[in-house]
């Protein structure tokens, strides 16, 4: 079954989406399912089963990973791929966050990292932090409302993909004597 | 204690705005209840039987008198005039309106408090030793590390949708008062061979349906690597912890399934890439945080024997014996205010008591308080010379029951009276037992004993590690109680063993009486209940308890419990 949508969030703006996403139906097999022309994001199993043919179509082919699939299997192709999706079967299933982090931090993936599936506004901030830059938010919700989820916090304590250093290394924080070196600098002391 | 700087304030302020917006969207039906549940849970808001319950974080159990007074304010303004201190060293309020929760958070933020991650499938409030900083057997004060961990775990983007809840405890003393063996991660501050500070890391302890003691995955982790190593543990768990069955989803199940060696190998493999990354702690940052926990301005005093000035008062002597603990500074003592007065649900305090306790903290203890995981409160820095005066004041407000560590110092969850998860009521059982054994001489004769009651398998009342554990179970729609003995927390933790078939609520006081009878009959001189129970095993207790039928006496259940 091919899902297509008009819009996604990419780099914090809503843009037109020209990708189709393939989800295998029960009666479809990874090695025989036909991949139509155009830009298609295919499941990992299809990418592996039809590797030679699909790799020849890059960059018009993307791959998506299920929450139980390992990003390392894409290691050999990672430099060539321009779109990788990570599926959230349910917004409460957090495996996709670690998959994204590993794709970025361990495997050095530089292309578009797209959250797909049960992707909702209230999870976007965390998704963005671990390395997602594209969000195929759930179609029954307003995608422009969802944008607000990306700007909830202006400061964070810990390092992740978006911010490589923790707060305590980025700022001189207040000491127990009440002295605040940052504020002192700001006020010209 | 730790004080917020501009960044802490900013993050909490932005959190309240986020949460207020979520509540408004829920009320407007833009969020379904299913979508809202994880959001409100990560803000400590549960739907209970009658109303919402809000759980407020008390980081590692430490709070100021000003924060305590805020609890009194919340109890009066938003609740029914009381609060309930929990086994996670937090406080919860049982009669909350959803619409008011953003305003409660705003009030809390004004005293540097919040309800972030007090529930939900994320890293919860980090707990520690209630005597941290004053304990005579302390190696290193664990609170600065707990605070650093609190900040790191707050909204960690990768670990907010874990398979299940995640609890971390840190102990820095010889005696483990933080129950680290029954936590998802239990850290013990230790000295390495060269005197360097680090942690012994245990993973995979827990209670609930499958009680398991934690396994040591690293004997010594230098303190600088605390955050990166825990990140490695969390990432392994987040990826491989079971998500198909919530009762098999805790990290303990993953660790058991993999085996400790394989689990450790995976963690270490994960850690290789993280070690020495920017999340590595710096000396400057630890020094900055540690400075907030510097000792208060102690006077130079002689150690005295407070009892010697009041030899005529047996009640005072009893209180000194049970509720006053040694302090590492001469002339000072740590005092436990008992929230286990017979007739009061364990851990409950009224708004008036809360305000009064805040006053006591200001007048006797440098304005600080601690919550214990046994659901009592601590004034950690009291001059020995003022103990008698303090005792008289506390007694007048029902806060000086000399029962710390005794039979009526019961750990008990809110149970079926409040909690929608519970199979059975727990508070009426605690009340009936407390009433039956209210005699203090008897309690002092029985000595150290931990009686823990949970209303369901989630084990909020820590029944697995109770010397006597009581678990409420549901059988064909009626409430029954399963009894175990020999459980223990501390340095020799143990999971209790079930003695046999369950009992009705009315039978429970007699069951306890029979268990104590066997103990008194069999104990060696000076032997504690738990030691006798562990030495003899279940058999003699079981034999005596079930030897003759237990009559169902007068109603001691909810009908009599107010």
Q: How do residues A126-137 score in pLDDT, each as one tens digit?
A: 999 999 999 999
Task: Clarify whether residues B420 and B447 are in a common domain.
Answer: yes
Give the side-chain half-sphere CA count within 13 A for A25. Answer: 7
Q: Tokens 């851990």 belong to which residue?
A: B347
Query: Residues B228, B3, B178, B526: is their CA dihedral positive or negative?
Result: positive
Regions in chain A scoring below 50 on pLDDT: 186-189
From residue B235, how far is each of A105, B270, B272, B368 by CA, in Å? 13, 8, 13, 36
DSSP letters for chain A: -EEE-SEEEETTEEEE---EEE---TT--TTT----SS-EEEEHHHHHHTHHHHHTTTTSEEEEE-TTS-GGGGGGGTTT-SEEEEEESSTT-THHHHHHHIIIIIT---SEEEEEES--GGGHHHHHHTT--EE---TTS-HHHHGGGGGS-S--SS--SS--S-HHHHS-PPPTTS--HHHHHHTT-
Task: Clarify whether residues B280 and B360 are in a common domain.
Answer: no
Task: Clarify whether residues A135 and A168 are in a common domain.
Answer: no
Confirm or reject contact between A139 and chain B (CB < 8 A): no
Measured from the Cβ of residue B486, the count of other Cβ atoms closer than 10 Å reads 25
Task: Clarify whether residues A95 and A188 are in a common domain.
Answer: no
Domain boundary (B369, B396, B423) is at B396
Confirm or reject contact between A87 and chain B (CB < 8 A): no
Helix (H, G, I), strand (E, B) or coil at B309: helix
Q: How do residues B165-222 score in pLDDT, each as one tens digit?
A: 999 999 999 999 999 999 999 999 999 888 999 999 999 999 888 889 999 999 999 9
Contact A158 B151 (CB under 8 A): yes
| Structure confidence at residue B551 (pLDDT) | 82
Polymer length in residues for chain B: 562
Q: How do residues B420-461 score in pLDDT, each as one tens digit?
A: 888 899 999 999 999 999 998 999 999 999 999 999 998 889
Find out whether A42 and A54 touch, Cβ atoms under 8 Å: yes
Task: Clarify whether residues A175 and A100 are in a common domain.
Answer: no
Query: What percent of chain B has pLDDT above 70?
Result: 98
| Structure confidence at residue B557 (pLDDT) | 42
Domain count, chain B: 4
In sequence order, which residues have a C-beta less than 8 Å from that of residue A79 and are 6 or more positions away?
A: none
Of A98, A156, A171, the CB nearest to B155: A156
Of A106, A130, A154, the CB nearest to B157: A130
Of B227, B278, B285, the CB nearest to A164: B278
Q: Tokens 């599926």 belong to which residue?
A: A87
Task: Clarify whether residues B210 and B275 are in a common domain.
Answer: yes
| Structure confidence at residue A188 (pLDDT) | 45
Helix (H, G, I), strand (E, B) or coil at B78: helix
Task: Clarify whether residues A171 and A148 are in a common domain.
Answer: no
Contact B35 A120 (CB under 8 A): yes
Confirm or reject contact between A137 and chain B (CB < 8 A): no
Does residue B126 lie within any of the structural domains? no
Task: Clarify whether residues B159 and B277 are in a common domain.
Answer: yes
Confirm or reject contact between A154 and chain B (CB < 8 A): yes
Q: How close does chain A come to B284, measured CA to CA in Å?
A: 9
Q: What average pLDDT score do residues B331-351 get?
A: 94
Task: Clarify whether residues B270 and B235 are in a common domain.
Answer: yes
Q: Which residues pair with B53 in a beta bridge?
A: B46
Find out whether B110 and B27 touch, Cβ atoms under 8 Å: no
Confirm or reject contact between A157 and chain B (CB < 8 A): yes
Contact A97 B156 (CB under 8 A): no
| Structure confidence at residue A1 (pLDDT) | 82
Task: Clarify whether residues B180 and B278 are in a common domain.
Answer: yes
CA distance B177 to B174: 9
Q: Is B548 exposed, middle or buried (0-12, 13-18, 19+ CB in 10 A)?
A: exposed
Decide if pLDDT at B559 tops 50: no
Which residue of chain A comes nearest to B236, CA vs CA?
A98
Does residue B66 lie within any of the structural domains? yes
| Structure confidence at residue A181 (pLDDT) | 58
Contact B238 A175 (CB under 8 A): no
In sequence order, which residues have a C-beta less than 8 Å from that of residue A62 and are 6 or more positions away?
A: A19, A39, A40, A41, A42, A81, A82, A83, A84, A85, A112, A114
Q: What average pLDDT score do residues B320-328 get?
A: 96
Q: How do residues B206-253 score in pLDDT, each as one tens digit?
A: 988 888 999 999 999 999 999 999 999 999 999 999 999 999 999 999
Task: Clarify whether residues A177 and A99 are in a common domain.
Answer: no
- ipTM for the assembly: 0.94
Look at residues B107, B131, B119, B140 and name the one whose alpha carbon lies nearest to residue B40: B119
Buried b (16+ CB within 10 A) or exposed e, B227-249: bbbbbbbbbbbbbbbbbeeeebb
Beta strands A40-43 and A61-65 are parallel
Helix (H, G, I), strand (E, B) or coil at B386: helix
Residue B335 domain boundaries:
306-396
Q: Which residues pair with B45 in a beta bridge?
A: B54
Find out whether B172 and B140 touch, Cβ atoms under 8 Å: yes
Find out whether B71 and B347 touch, Cβ atoms under 8 Å: no
| Structure confidence at residue B432 (pLDDT) | 93
Task: Clarify whether residues A146 and A168 are in a common domain.
Answer: no
- Tokens for B332, please give them: 């000072």
Report the mean per-residue pLDDT for chain B. Answer: 94
Task: Clarify whether residues B267 and B146 are in a common domain.
Answer: yes
From residue B413, how far is each of A140, B435, B453 by CA, in Å? 41, 18, 7
Decide if pLDDT at B486 tops 60: yes
Residue A171 domain boundaries:
155-189
Contact A91 B35 (CB under 8 A): yes
Task: Clarify whether residues A174 and A122 are in a common domain.
Answer: no
Q: How do residues B381-431 score in pLDDT, each as one tens digit?
A: 999 999 999 999 999 999 999 999 999 999 998 888 888 888 899 999 999
Contact A93 B161 (CB under 8 A): yes
Decide if pLDDT at B482 tops 50: yes
Decide if pLDDT at B558 tops 70: no
Calculate the CA A187 to chain-centre distance.
Answer: 39
Find out whether A107 and A78 touch, Cβ atoms under 8 Å: yes
| Structure confidence at residue B72 (pLDDT) | 98
Contact B6 A101 (CB under 8 A): no
Task: Clarify whether residues A98 and A174 are in a common domain.
Answer: no
| Structure confidence at residue B560 (pLDDT) | 40
CA distance B245 to B146: 30
Does residue B553 lie within any of the structural domains? no
Task: Clarify whether residues B182 and B275 are in a common domain.
Answer: yes
pTM value surpassing 0.80: yes
Q: How do residues B277-304 score in pLDDT, each as one tens digit?
A: 999 999 999 999 999 999 999 999 999 9
Query: Residues B74, B1, B339, B458: is their CA dihedral positive or negative?
Result: positive
Query: Residues B382, B386, B389, B392: is their CA dihedral positive or negative?
Result: positive
| Structure confidence at residue A183 (pLDDT) | 54
Q: What is the CATH number of the domain that holds B36?
A: 3.90.480.20
Does residue B557 lie within any of the structural domains? no
Contact A97 B6 (CB under 8 A): no
CA distance B22 to B9: 20
Q: What average pLDDT score do residues B84-89 get?
A: 90
Q: What is the CATH number of the domain that holds B159?
A: 3.30.413.10
Q: Tokens 């993909």 belong to which residue?
A: A161
Task: Clarify whether residues B144 and B277 are in a common domain.
Answer: yes
Domain count, chain A: 2
| Structure confidence at residue A189 (pLDDT) | 42
Q: Tokens 């990672």 belong to which residue?
A: A78
In sequence order, which residues have a C-beta less than 8 Å from that of residue B549 and are 6 or more positions away?
A: none
Q: What is the CATH number of the domain that holds A44?
A: 3.20.20.70
Does residue B127 lie within any of the structural domains? no
Indicate which of B158, B225, B251, B297 best probes the interface with A, i.e. most A CBs within 10 Å of its own CB. B158
Which residues of B fall within a CB distance of 8 Å from A183? 6
| Structure confidence at residue B404 (pLDDT) | 96
Domain boundary (B396, B428, B451) is at B396
Confirm or reject contact between A169 and chain B (CB < 8 A): yes
| Structure confidence at residue A187 (pLDDT) | 47
| Structure confidence at residue B50 (pLDDT) | 83
| Structure confidence at residue A180 (pLDDT) | 65
Does residue B129 lie within any of the structural domains? no
Residue B53 phi, psi (nearest 5)? -115, 135
Which residue of chain A comes nearest to B280, CA vs CA?
A166
Q: Which residues pair with B411 in a beta bridge?
A: B452
Contact A155 B291 (CB under 8 A): no
Measured from the Cβ of residue B397, the count of other Cβ atoms closer than 10 Å reads 17
Task: Clarify whether residues B165 and B236 are in a common domain.
Answer: yes
CA distance A47 to A61: 9
Task: Clarify whether residues A122 and A186 are in a common domain.
Answer: no
Does residue B301 lie within any of the structural domains? no
Contact A157 B285 (CB under 8 A): no
Q: What average pLDDT score do residues B57-81 get?
A: 97
| Residue B2 banded pLDDT, cuts 50, 70, 90 | very high
**What 8-state DSSP symbol labels residue B191?**
E
CA distance A67 to A94: 8
Q: What average pLDDT score do residues B24-29 get?
A: 96
First-to-last alpha carbon distance for chain A, in angstroms, is 64
Task: Clarify whether residues B102 and B52 are in a common domain.
Answer: yes
- Tokens for B465, please give them: 């590690």
CA distance B498 to B500: 6
Domain boundary (B289, B318, B345) is at B289
Confirm or reject contact between A140 and chain B (CB < 8 A): no
Task: Clarify whether residues B430 and B479 are in a common domain.
Answer: yes
Helix (H, G, I), strand (E, B) or coil at B2: coil
Q: How close does chain A come to B248, measured CA to CA in Å?
A: 15
Task: Clarify whether residues A181 and A93 are in a common domain.
Answer: no
| Structure confidence at residue B561 (pLDDT) | 36
A 112-131 near B (Cβ less than 8 A): 120, 122-123, 125-127, 129-130
């Amino acid at each position: 079954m091919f899902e297509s949508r008009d819009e996604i969030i990419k780099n914090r703006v809503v843009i037109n989406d020209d990708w189709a996403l393939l989800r295998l139906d029960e009666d479809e097999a990874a090695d025989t399912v036909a991949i139509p022309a155009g830009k298609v994001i295919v499941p990992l199993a299809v990418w592996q089963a039809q590797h030679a043919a699909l790799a020849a179509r890059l960059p018009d082919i993307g791959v998506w990973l299920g929450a139980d699939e390992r990003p390392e299997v894409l290691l050999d192709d990672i430099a060539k791929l321009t779109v990788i999706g990570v599926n959230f079967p349910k917004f409460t299933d957090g495996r996709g966050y670690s998959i994204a982090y590993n794709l970025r931090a361990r495997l050095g993936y530089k292309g578009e990292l797209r959250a797909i599936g049960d992707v909702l506004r209230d999870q976007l901030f965390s998704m963005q932090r671990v390395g997602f830059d594209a969000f195929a938010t759930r179609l029954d919700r307003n995608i422009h409302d969802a944008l607000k989820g990306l700007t909830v916090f202006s400061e964070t304590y810990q390092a992740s993909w978006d911010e490589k250093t923790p707060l305590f290394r980025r700022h001189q924080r207040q000491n127990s004597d009440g002295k605040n070196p940052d504020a002192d600098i700001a006020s010209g002391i | 204690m730790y004080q917020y700087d501009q960044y802490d304030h900013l993050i909490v302020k932005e959190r309240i705005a986020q949460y207020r917006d979520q509540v408004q969207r829920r009320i407007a039906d833009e969020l379904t209840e299913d979508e809202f549940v994880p959001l409100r849970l990560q803000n400590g808001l549960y739907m209970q039987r009658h109303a919402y319950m809000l759980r407020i974080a008390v980081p590692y159990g430490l709070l100021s008198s000003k924060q305590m007074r805020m609890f009194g304010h919340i109890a009066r303004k938003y609740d029914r005039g009381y609060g309930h201190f929990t086994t996670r060293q937090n406080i919860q309020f049982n009669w909350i309106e959803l619409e008011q929760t953003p305003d409660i958070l705003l009030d809390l933020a004004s005293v540097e408090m919040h309800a972030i991650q007090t529930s939900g499938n994320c890293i919860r409030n980090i707990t520690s030793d209630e005597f941290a900083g004053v304990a005579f057997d302390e190696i290193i004060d664990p609170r600065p590390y707990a605070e650093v961990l609190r900040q790191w775990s707050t909204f960690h983007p990768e670990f907010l949708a874990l398979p299940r809840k995640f609890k971390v405890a840190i102990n820095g003393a010889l005696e483990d008062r933080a129950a680290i063996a029954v936590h998802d991660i239990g850290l013990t501050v230790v000295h390495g061979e060269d005197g360097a500070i680090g942690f012994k890391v245990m993973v995979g302890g827990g209670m609930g349906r499958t009680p398991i003691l934690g396994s040591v995955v690293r004997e010594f982790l230098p303190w600088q690597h605390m955050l990166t190593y825990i990140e490695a543990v969390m990432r392994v768990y987040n990826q491989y912890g079971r998500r198909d069955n919530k009762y098999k989803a805790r990290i303990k199940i993953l660790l058991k399934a993999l085996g400790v060696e394989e689990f450790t190998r995976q963690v270490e493999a994960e850690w290789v890439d993280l070690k020495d990354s920017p999340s590595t702690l710096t000396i400057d940052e630890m020094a900055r945080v540690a400075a907030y926990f510097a000792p208060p301005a102690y006077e130079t005093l002689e150690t005295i024997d407070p009892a010697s000035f009041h030899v005529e008062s047996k009640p005072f002597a009893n209180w000194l014996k049970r509720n006053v603990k040694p302090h590492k500074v001469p002339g000072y003592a740590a005092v436990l205010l008992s929230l286990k007065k017979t007739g009061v649900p364990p851990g409950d305090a009224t708004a008036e008591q809360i305000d009064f306790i805040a006053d006591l903290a200001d007048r006797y203890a440098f304005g600080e308080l601690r919550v214990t995981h046994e659901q009592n409160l601590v004034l950690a820095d009291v001059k020995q010379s003022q103990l008698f005066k303090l005792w008289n004041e506390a007694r007048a407000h029902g806060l000086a029951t000399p029962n710390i560590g005794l039979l009526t110092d019961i750990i008990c969850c809110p149970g079926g009276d409040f909690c929608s998860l519970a199979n059975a009521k727990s508070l009426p059982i605690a009340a009936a037992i407390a009433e039956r054994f209210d005699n203090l001489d008897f309690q002092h004769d029985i000595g150290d004993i931990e009686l823990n009651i949970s209303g369901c398998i989630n084990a909020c009342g820590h029944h697995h590690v109770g010397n006597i554990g009581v678990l409420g179970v549901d059988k064909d729609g009626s409430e029954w109680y399963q009894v175990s003995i020999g459980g223990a927390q501390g340095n020799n933790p143990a999971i209790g063993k079930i003695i046999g078939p369950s009992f009705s609520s009315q039978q429970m006081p007699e069951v306890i009486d029979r268990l104590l009878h066997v103990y008194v009959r069999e104990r060696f001189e000076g032997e504690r209940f738990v030691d006798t129970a562990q030495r003899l095993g279940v058999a003699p207790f079981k034999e005596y308890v079930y030897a003759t039928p237990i009559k169902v006496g007068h109603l001691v259940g909810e009908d009599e419990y107010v």
